[in-house]
């Protein structure tokens, strides 16, 4: 698996609900080895975008390419079998099943053995091994036999990612995996995300800006269904349009003035230091 390989491309994708343009002309590229975050205020179109990419809702226009194939009109199950996994804003686990059983069911969905209906699913070595790998990868091995409903909130979010991994995806679409987490749980999840991107293309939708700017390789900013900026974290942070969208025009202007004043003060201090050095010599 080569790092940097393009795995998913959305080109000029739009999704309209009547007169509401929830997503309008969005283009995004996901590469193996990169974590690409999508940020924006509530109602910006982030979740609609991830639903379009995963195939849960159809595009109004545009094109989605998955692993080199035109997947624009593929169903969600077909995209999942082709190598796309996703998590949701809310927990989608089976609380009365164990952690292992949750992951085994996910692995079993990837490779169903419909011809072997007389053999108990629990005896399928392929799905069981896939479940164990996913559990170990996400740091849940010690809880494999614990009912999923008894896990902490952060561990349930880890389990959702483990269930994704059990289907052996190459692209991961993660919708607010840090929501509701405390500081310690957040650190564990960020470490997991950093580890996962080595073998996957990861799209992260998240409201925790500190976390996003720590782990993202690229950031796309959406406002009212459109992309207003996309690039490295440093480039996005410096974008005047992003500052206006998040801070408001007056506050963004004040911040720019403060930054200019800080720069002028530093330059003045450097000049004075140089002059003092000249007199001292």
The CATH number given to whatever domain includes residue 77 is 3.40.50.300
Q: 74 and 20 in one domain?
A: yes
Nearest to 226, CA basis, from 240, 211, 207, 245 = 245
| 115, 144, 166 - which closes a domain | 166
The answer to whether position 250 is within a domain reads: no
- Confidence at residue 153, expressed as pLDDT on a 0 to 100 scale: 92
Q: 14 and 137 in one domain?
A: no
| 120, 143, 166 - which closes a domain | 166
Q: Enter the DSSP assignment of 113.
A: -
- pLDDT tens for the chain, 281 residues long, are 566 799 999 999 999 999 999 999 999 999 999 999 999 988 899 999 999 999 999 999 999 999 999 999 999 999 999 999 999 888 889 999 999 999 999 998 777 665 566 566 666 788 899 999 999 999 999 999 999 999 999 999 999 999 999 999 999 999 999 988 888 999 999 999 999 998 999 999 998 999 999 999 999 999 999 999 999 999 999 999 888 877 565 554 555 555 555 544 554 555 455 545 444 44
Q: 32 and 62 in one domain?
A: yes
Q: 173 and 78 in one domain?
A: yes
- Confidence at residue 165, expressed as pLDDT on a 0 to 100 scale: 95
Q: 186 and 155 in one domain?
A: no
Q: 3 and 76 in one domain?
A: yes
Q: 31 and 13 in one domain?
A: yes
Nearest to 230, CA basis, from 32, 27, 48, 63 = 27
Is-contact 127 102, C-beta < 8 A? no
Q: 161 and 117 in one domain?
A: yes
Find the domain containing 225 and state its range: 1-83+169-232
- Confidence at residue 112, expressed as pLDDT on a 0 to 100 scale: 65
Q: 109 and 146 in one domain?
A: yes
The answer to whether position 238 is within a domain reads: no
As for how many domains the chain has, the answer is 2
- Confidence at residue 117, expressed as pLDDT on a 0 to 100 scale: 60
Q: Hey, what are 243's tokens? A: 């500052």
Is-contact 75 20, C-beta < 8 A? no
Q: 141 and 199 in one domain?
A: no
Is-contact 176 207, C-beta < 8 A? yes
- Confidence at residue 248, expressed as pLDDT on a 0 to 100 scale: 63
Is-contact 94 105, C-beta < 8 A? yes
The answer to whether position 273 is within a domain reads: no
Beta bridge partners of residue 163, listed in sequence order: none
CA distance 247 to 99: 42
CA distance 16 to 106: 32
φ/ψ of residue 192, rounded to 5: -65, -45
Q: 144 and 25 in one domain?
A: no
CA distance 10 to 59: 10
Q: Hey, what are 75's tokens? A: 């169903």
CA distance 265 to 141: 54
Q: 47 and 121 in one domain?
A: no
């Amino acid at each position: 698996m080569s790092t940097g390989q393009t795995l998913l491309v959305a080109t000029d994708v739009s999704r309209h609900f009547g007169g509401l343009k929830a997503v309008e002309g969005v283009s995004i590229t996901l590469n193996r080895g990169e974590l690409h975050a999508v940020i924006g205020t509530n109602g910006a179109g982030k979740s609609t975008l991830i639903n379009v990419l995963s195939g849960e809702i159809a595009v109004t226009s545009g094109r989605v390419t998955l692993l080199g194939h035109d997947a624009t009109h593929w169903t969600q199950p077909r995209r999942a079998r082709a190598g796309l996994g996703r998590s949701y804003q809310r927990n989608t686990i089976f609380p009365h099943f164990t952690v292992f059983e949750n992951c085994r069911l996910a692995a079993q969905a990837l490779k169903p053995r419909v011809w072997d209906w007389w053999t108990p699913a629990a005896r399928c070595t392929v799905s069981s091994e896939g479940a164990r790998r996913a559990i170990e990868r996400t740091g849940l091995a010690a809880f494999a036999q614990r009912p999923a409903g008894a896990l902490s909130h952060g561990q349930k979010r880890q389990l959702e990612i483990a269930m994704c991994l059990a289907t052996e995806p190459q692209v991961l679409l993660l919708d607010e995996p840090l929501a509701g987490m405390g500081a310690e749980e957040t650190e564990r999840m960020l470490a997991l995300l950093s580890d996962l991107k080595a073998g996957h293309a990861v799209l992260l939708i998240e409201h925790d800006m500190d976390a996003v700017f720590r782990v993202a390789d690229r950031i796309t900013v959406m406002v009212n269904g459109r992309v207003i900026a996309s690039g490295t974290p440093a480039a996005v942070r410096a974008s005047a349009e992003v500052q206006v969208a998040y801070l408001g025009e007056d506050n963004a202007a004040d911040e720019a003035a403060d930054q200019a004043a800080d720069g002028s003060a530093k330059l003045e201090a450097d000049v004075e230091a140089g002059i003092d050095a000249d007199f001292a010599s």
